[in-house]
Structure 1
């Protein structure tokens, strides 16, 4: 049984669930989880959690993401990407200066309000939006605040013109950002219908494209017995918080997951990580009801010697 985080590259044509299903067969283990859904037409970094690392998948999902997207100005679609049916097509000749596009990208940087697309897994009244969409129904969707840290225009042209204007951008953003919807918002600010014509996730938290293996790579690594060299320890998902080595005084309390007196570091952080011999054994948070106390949010058993 493998333990750790597999930096994985999801290829086009597969769902995130497809990847997990195939990896379970290749690795011959059930305890596998992905760290956030990527649409079938999207390729990119999708860290896969194995064994105990499945306990930290939510932490990876909460970390920032980096994408490279192609924005197409002139056509909107039902899904806000290239997979949907055309809703509006403005075939007039368009021309935008580099400065115009940069101004729009700057306006969409920071905290941004988005309305999730109808073809998404967001639930309204207990039902996923894409289920309503497939029934031909459109329902009111709650808006959400997302954080877009940075948007870079990757193309160096001084002017972008034509009936269908396309350009590439790199986006660094927080959890829950819909790049498809961002494409539509860019079009709205430029005054035209728009959609996202392609998307690649180049980073997920600290995991980058350069680290990733494809399904074929994983299969080869299994055959060559080198996969263990590629796996990253689950502590990689905990690097955002202070780490403490347990001492004899509190070792029993922490390893048993007891409620204990709060550590001063929790006054400045939302979590702290306790380690034993370099391995995480617990993530502690402030106790929600007992003032001055803290409780475990996650517990891990030692895998040394397994």
Structure 2
């Protein structure tokens, strides 16, 4: 089995839990996920099966879309609703619609984040949450991320101390930290009280399957029908089309002369008659050559 399984991860499971469950259900060991979701978060989690595991880094690099609730008046150790309270104040002068709108605009584009202490970012070979659990102070590395879009979402029940947003962002963005920083801009301690990932790359909620759907498909021996083609996870890369003779060389993993056809992105996908063959890149030391990064057939 080779392909992408777009799972709707339920709350209460780690991303690793999901990989283990799918390995058991599909009876295959070559399974990997593309971007961790915290146990309390539900949403789109792309699971790569078989040869699709070769594209995990390229799917991780894609844009992600989230829906989050920002709760004003309290900040926590973990920056979400599950951590110990650090600071709490009453929201006596809630921000206006205009205040929130202006604040959201200020977070669009490239921003600098300091990752939360309770995160898997590594410093000196150890994860930040390991330092946090041992109460060891450590300087956290600043990182730049991109917020492509951030918009206000309607709330079913209007609350003076919270609001909902939709965020389209680059990899590495911590929505928890974004919520805290948005609160600071509005003059209040804040945390992320709810989060759902609604899209990863081209995969949206409507594309996803649940564990129940996978179990039913296995019972009916139709599990392969749940998989999306590997190429769907690579649509954001440029394409180079080759002939049959070149195809043979690619399947042997050979370096090739840099093609005359202009490829704007690096790396890029190589196809022959719509068949996905490999991912190539311009040779880092010999710019007149291209070399394989991943080969999918043969």
- Same fold per TM (> 0.5)? yes
Give the whole-Å Cα distance in 2 for the aligned partners of 1:225 and 1:219.
10
Q: TM-score, normalised by structure 2?
A: 0.96
Give the whole-Å Cα distance in 1 for the aligned partners of 2:91 and 2:228.
51
Give the whole-Å Cα distance in 1 for the aligned partners of 2:151 and 2:220.
40
- Given candidates 230, 235, 242, the residue that maps to 2:238 is 242
> Which residue of the partner structure matches residue 167 of structure 2?
171
> Which residue of the partner structure matches residue 116 of structure 1?
115
CA contact (8 A) 2:155 2:164 kept: no
Which 4+ runs in 1 deviate beyond 6 A? none
Distance 1:175 1:54, change over 3 A: same
> Which residue of the partner structure matches residue 60 of structure 2?
61
Give the whole-Å Cα distance in 2 for the aligned partners of 1:30 and 1:266.
38
> Which residue of the partner structure matches residue 198 of structure 1?
194
Q: What number of residue pairs does the alignment pair up?
A: 297
Distance 1:184 1:247, change over 3 A: same
Q: TM-score, normalised by structure 1?
A: 0.93
Give the whole-Å Cα distance in 1 for the aligned partners of 2:238 and 2:254.
19
Q: Are residue 75 (structure 1) and residue 65 (structure 2) matched? A: no
What's the secondary structure of 2:75's corresponding residue?
strand
CA contact (8 A) 2:75 2:180 kept: yes
Q: Any gaps of 5 or more consecutive residues in structure 2? A: none
What's the secondary structure of 1:95's corresponding residue?
coil
What's the secondary structure of 2:144's corresponding residue?
strand
Per-residue deviation at 1:76? 0.1
Q: Are residue 274 (structure 1) and residue 270 (structure 2) matched? A: yes
Give the whole-Å Cα distance in 1 for the aligned partners of 2:86 and 2:262.
51
CA contact (8 A) 1:259 1:296 kept: yes
CA contact (8 A) 2:72 2:91 kept: no
> Which residue of the partner structure matches residue 29 of structure 2?
30
Give the whole-Å Cα distance in 2 for the aligned partners of 1:80 and 1:14.
19
> Which residue of the partner structure matches residue 97 of structure 2?
98
What's the secondary structure of 1:46's corresponding residue?
strand
After superposing the two structures, state which structure 1 stretch, 67-76 or 265-274, moved more.
Answer: 265-274
> Which residue of the partner structure matches residue 291 of structure 1?
287
> Which residue of the partner structure matches residue 203 of structure 2?
207
After superposing the two structures, state which structure 1 stretch, 108-117 or 277-286, moved more.
Answer: 277-286
> Which residue of the partner structure matches residue 141 of structure 2?
142
Distance 1:246 1:92, change over 3 A: closer
After superposing the two structures, state which structure 1 stretch, 74-83 or 243-252, moved more.
Answer: 243-252
Q: Any gaps of 5 or more consecutive residues in structure 1? A: none
CA contact (8 A) 1:118 1:138 kept: no
Per-residue deviation at 1:265? 4.2
Give the whole-Å Cα distance in 2 for the aligned partners of 1:272 and 1:136.
44
Give the whole-Å Cα distance in 2 for the aligned partners of 1:186 and 1:84.
18
Give the whole-Å Cα distance in 2 for the aligned partners of 1:124 and 1:15.
23
Per-residue deviation at 1:277? 4.3
